[in-house]
Amino acid sequence: MRIDIITCLPKLLEGPFSDSILKRAQDKGLVEVVVHDLRPYSTNKHRTTDDYAFGGGAGMVMMIEPIDRCISFLKESRHYDEVIYMSPDGELLTQNLANQLSLCKNLIMLCGHYKGVDERVREHLITREISIGDYVLSGGELAAAVVADSVIRLIPGVLSDETSALTDSFQDGLIAPPVYTRPAEYKGWKVPDVLLSGHTSKIEEWRQEKAIERTKERRPNLI
């Protein structure tokens, strides 16, 4: 998989992809993440990517021309399954959506900034809009990193134990059950006996019951 991220602030994306699982996935050649600075695609002598909104109002708006030039340049080299705009009013990111995107070969993610992008970008250049929640960030960079993380970890070979992603919260519509590790007793706080029994079917039954119980308690809307 290849993910191209377009931003006017590329340094904001250096950290998320330079360590841990996302870095190992790139080192293994399982995914390629390329961050593109939007400014070189501006024809303005100052390399600006934003301007005042027609009709007035507070805040600046990202211009269509540098965005179009960047996306067109990328499309000259490969076909993209989706051109995604990170937007607070987009489709809410869910585990099911992450699963769908993990099957794609090439993705473009456009990070909004300021008061957003020229509406013609959304009308003519974008195929999908995604939000990570009902709140506003300073820009789409952190949101793009969240989407990329949720997608990349699902690619076969990224996680050392490929069954791990299949047992994550929301994969079966439920929140994951409680988990424990050694020591079996700490300060008088004990691990449930069933988890120490070695009885696989009883353990799975306990986990399913706890997943349902926790989901009803914390996210009843999922039931």
CATH, residue 199 = 1.10.1270.20
Convert the pLDDT of each residue in 2-12 to its tens digit. Answer: 999 999 999 99
Convert the pLDDT of each residue in 23-53 to its tens digit. Answer: 999 999 999 999 999 999 999 989 999 999 9
159 falls within a domain: no
Distance CA 122, CA 85 (A): 8
Tokens of residue 39, six digits: 């400014």
111, 133, 194, 223 from 59: Cα distances, Å: 16, 22, 58, 42
Give phi and psi for 7, each to the nearest 5. -150, 155
Residue with tokens 């999922």: 222
If asked whether residues 173 and 72 sit together in one domain, one would say no
What number of H helices and E strands is found in the chain?
8, 9
77 falls within a domain: yes
pTM to 2 decimal places: 0.89
If asked whether residues 148 and 188 sit together in one domain, one would say no
Question: What H or E segment, with its residue span, contains residue 144?
Answer: helix 141-152
